Amino acid sequence: MFFLYVIVSALYLSPSPPFPPAPPSQPLLQRYPSTRTLPPVLIMASLIKAPSSVFPSEKLQSVSRGKTRHRSIPKKAAFRLVPVALSLSMSTGTAEHDQKSNLPDIPIPIMVNSSTGKMGKAVIKAADSAGLHIVPVSFGSEKASGQTVEVCGKEILVQGPSERESILASVFQDYPNLIVVDYTVPGTVNENAELYCKVGVPFVMGTSGGDRDRLYKTVEESKVYAVVSPQMGKQVVAFLAAMEIMAEQFPGAFSGYSLQVMESHQASKLDTSGTAKAVNSCFQKLGVSFDMGQIQMIRDPKQQIEMVGVPEEHLSGHAFHLYHLTSPDQTVSFEFQHNVCGRSIYAEGTVDAVLFLAKKVKSKADKRTYNMIDVLREGNMR
């Protein structure tokens, strides 16, 4: 389930608030009960002018976990709150419409690395549903080498780090239209990208982390077709694009405002959210002074349930983000919130990226390096 809430609160002096302030431990989604009954305001923002730099080589300050400041979102003042809510919600379940409407006559072969991980399996399921051909080979860790993974009734042999180049070259020879999908770990991003580029196989890099400058340089110099994005959820990417447009057209609009950021992901996610970094970069352009080391990372399951409001069944796979802005005089506040339960939103976006990239390879497009903004602009998403 994916939710996006933008809440603007103007403070007025009043002897008593319309509802009591929420306790610090109350889940974030329950902090503004009155907004549940407000009619949603639909805002359409054109992405025609959205720059491809929403993920601009990601030249962002590295985050030191030791400097992460664990702070609660500030308590609301005991004044009357007049909330204006903008809301968007959607289910990230499998779409009911025809998933194969945009596919070529011959199924596109894809090799998913790593197929043993939860994200890899989610991509395989989405790709199989879309009619893509799952290559029965996948790269994994040394520990997983030699294992056979069964997903959607298909057996996939996991290959370890040794002899990866010769194995990939052989697979590419057998499947000339091959596209590799990478959902491995941050520590192998650069090594994997260099391998794909050396062999010359097009790829979709959904793994976050690594040296992003080095990653983009590797891809650009190799002239290999690739979609590189730390965020594959199409709707979240559209939100990021809208933030980038606002930052470019209204620089300094939030000068003087303070910002607090909280992001919660499954405990297995070791790095700080790339999405949170991208959004914070936009806020910096809008005039907010904020250090990336101030991002509050929540990885403890108990805190995720009690403080963030993550459903227990999604502790192993979720992405909850909250950005809270406060004016210098504490009389105005803004909140931007987007919550994702599960992985299907990323898996479906990845399939769209594969279809997009296959089209670019077939047409021999001059541009070789793309991101999810390019995929959105194409307008052929399922």
Q: Which residue of the set 121, 125, 234, 269 is catalytic?
A: 269
Q: Which residue of the set 125, 265, 321, 324 is catalytic?
A: 265
Task: Report yes or no: 323 and 259 within 8 Å, Cβ to Cβ.
Answer: yes
Q: Token pair 């998403």 is at which residue?
A: 381
Catalytic site includes residue 338: no
Task: Report yes or no: 186 and 207 within 8 Å, Cβ to Cβ.
Answer: yes
Q: Which residues contact 91 (CB under 8 A, 6 or more apart)?
A: 1, 2
Give CA–CA dist 299/269, Å, rounded: 8
Amino acid sitting at position 192: N
The string of DSSP codes covering 243-277 is HHHHHHHSTTTTTT-EEEEEEEE-TT--SPPHHHH
Task: Please state the separation of Cα 326 from the chain's center in Å.
Answer: 25
Exposed/middle/buried for residue 160 (C-beta within 10 Å: 0-12, 13-18, 19+):
middle
The string over 47-63, giving b where at least 16 C-beta atoms fall within 10 Å of a residue's C-beta and e elsewhere, is: beebebebbeebebeeb
Give CA–CA dist 146/138, Å, rounded: 10
Task: Please state the separation of Cα 10 from the chain's center in Å.
Answer: 31
Catalytic site includes residue 364: no
Q: Looking at residue 292, what DSSP letter applies?
A: G
Positions marked catalytic: 265, 269
